[in-house]
A = this chain, B = another copy of it.
Amino acid sequence: MTDPITGAGDEARSVVRETAARAREAAAALATTSRADKDRALLAMADALVDETTSILVANEEDVQRARDEGTPESLIDRLRLDVPRVQAMADGLRDVVGLVDPCGEVVRGYTLPNGLELRQVRVPLGVVGIIYEARPNVTVDAAGLCLKSGNAVLLRGSSSARASNARIVDVLRDAVQQAGLPADCVQGVAGEGREAVQHLMRARGLVDVLIPRGGAGLIRYVVEESTVPVIETGVGNCHVYVDADADLDMAMSIVLNAKTQRPSVCNAAESLVVHRDVAAQFVPEVVKQLTAAGVTVHGDDAVQGYADGVTAAEPDDFAAEYLSADISAAVVDSLDDAVAHIRRYGSGHTEAIVTRSQQSAQRFTHAVDAAAVVVNASTRFTDGGEFGFGAEIGISTQKLHARGPMGLPELTSTKYVLTGAGQTRE
């Protein structure tokens, strides 16, 4: 990573590590900051975003213009573009966070030991949280707000395509935080070109407590494989809907259509349909018809192709695909256990649904399927911090350590044990 002549890599490393070290100092201050002071800072951040709408939009226009010059598709430019309502929405998001309970200080467990020591396990901030993200500039605001509320200093590394917008937003937020009496370094961007800065961030173990990558599968895999800082893996969703032999087929139809078509570009949309053979002759032709009518391409196995016309032959990769588009794979299985095995083989551990009237099938499926969320008789689309009532979401974890599923404020905390005694010593 270091240029042997210019030493440029070492300089980039120093910049990232100094940024992280400042975050660490800020985190120490934030850890003992009251909820009232944190909420005051959040409100100041919201007000500042509204006040600085014009300068934010000017910066954003620079990003949009560059994207257009580079021939970026309009759909991506729309994700990048800010306007007055969108800036207002970011500010409103911060005000919503003010209303959420501060997770820090929550006593998770507490009891008195036989020797009289009073033990409490108390929620505390993680410390320094790094967020590496693509796409929309609103993530900058969301992540800063959630991290500050949970007492964490945040290091924000957004997409280079949004660099002017993100830089301006970070400056606005930092000024507001400082004017509210907290260290500006509670919120910092990570500067530097391309992946080099990210590489140094991923190696800053001891300075950064956790990295959360948010974006496409490529970004997430890269961070997971290269980071020595602990990572929370987010988001890849190859979600299945399994239509059991005992399913209410009208309910199954409505769930499949909703899970696939209500918003195909998100990680909790269904990508795979699995149908029990006992109901396949009845269900498959109708579901293929309705999916096709909704503009969805069905990539079916041989059995599905046999039951319905207009099915595209599935390639082996289809069953593992996270399409994020108007496509769905479809397979017929002989039993619930075969459905579980299919999901086990191809699933990504995000959200898996069963449609069934059988209590036994529902119980077997929920026990045997290994995923962040298992859904009985409802759409996969409900796996979401907002839907779960968390009030906010920093991402959806698809790993098993620390947090699994939608992550709200408590998932941005660790705990410490506090033991209070009267001179106890160990014999």
Contact = CB atoms under 8 A, between A and B. Distances in A.
Interface string A402-427: 10110000000011111111111111
Contacts of A31: 367-368, 370
A228 interface: yes
Contacts of A423: 248, 251, 254-255, 377-378
A262 interface: yes
A240 to B, nearest CB: 14
Interface residues of A, number: 70
B209 A400 contact: yes
A416 B224 contact: no
B378 A32 contact: no
A229 to B, nearest CB: 10
A205 interface: yes
Contact of A371 (B374, B402, B416): B416
Interface in A13-67: 28, 31-32
A124 interface: yes
B401 A405 contact: no
Contact of A210 (B382, B400, B424): B400
A317 interface: no
A401 B230 contact: yes
A415 to B, nearest CB: 6
Contacts of A375: 418-419, 421
A199 interface: no
Nearest to A419: B375
A366 B399 contact: no
A276 B371 CA distance: 52
Contacts of A126: 400-401
Give the most central of A381, A414, A416, A420: most B CB within 10 Å: A416
Contacts of A231: 230
A244 to B, nearest CB: 14
A128 to B, nearest CB: 10
A19 to B, nearest CB: 19
Contact of A372 (B111, B258, B344, B417): B417
A121 B377 CA distance: 17
Interface majority SS on A: helix, strand, loop or mixed?
Answer: mixed
A425 B381 contact: yes
A399 B205 CA distance: 11
A378 B117 contact: yes
Contacts of A371: 416
A71 interface: no
Give the most central of A28, A230, A389: most B CB within 10 Å: A230
A406 to B, nearest CB: 8
Interface string A381-400: 11100011100000000011
A362 interface: yes
A356 to B, nearest CB: 11
A127 interface: yes
Contacts of A257: 425
Nearest to A233: B230
A225 interface: yes
A228 B114 CA distance: 41
Give the most central of A232, A248, A418: most B CB within 10 Å: A418
A404 to B, nearest CB: 5
B421 A376 contact: yes
A378 B418 CA distance: 11
A188 interface: no
- Minimum-distance CB pairs A-B, first 9: A378-B421, A258-B425, A400-B414, A381-B426, A402-B402, A378-B424, A251-B423, A373-B417, A401-B402
Given A230-B399, A373-B419, A378-B419, 20 more contacts: A111-B389, A113-B389, A119-B388, A121-B405, A124-B370, A210-B401, A225-B228, A251-B423, A254-B425, A258-B425, A258-B426, A259-B425, A374-B417, A378-B420, A378-B425, A383-B417, A400-B414, A401-B402, A402-B402, A404-B417
7 contacts: A255-B423, A258-B426, A262-B425, A378-B421, A401-B401, A402-B402, A404-B415
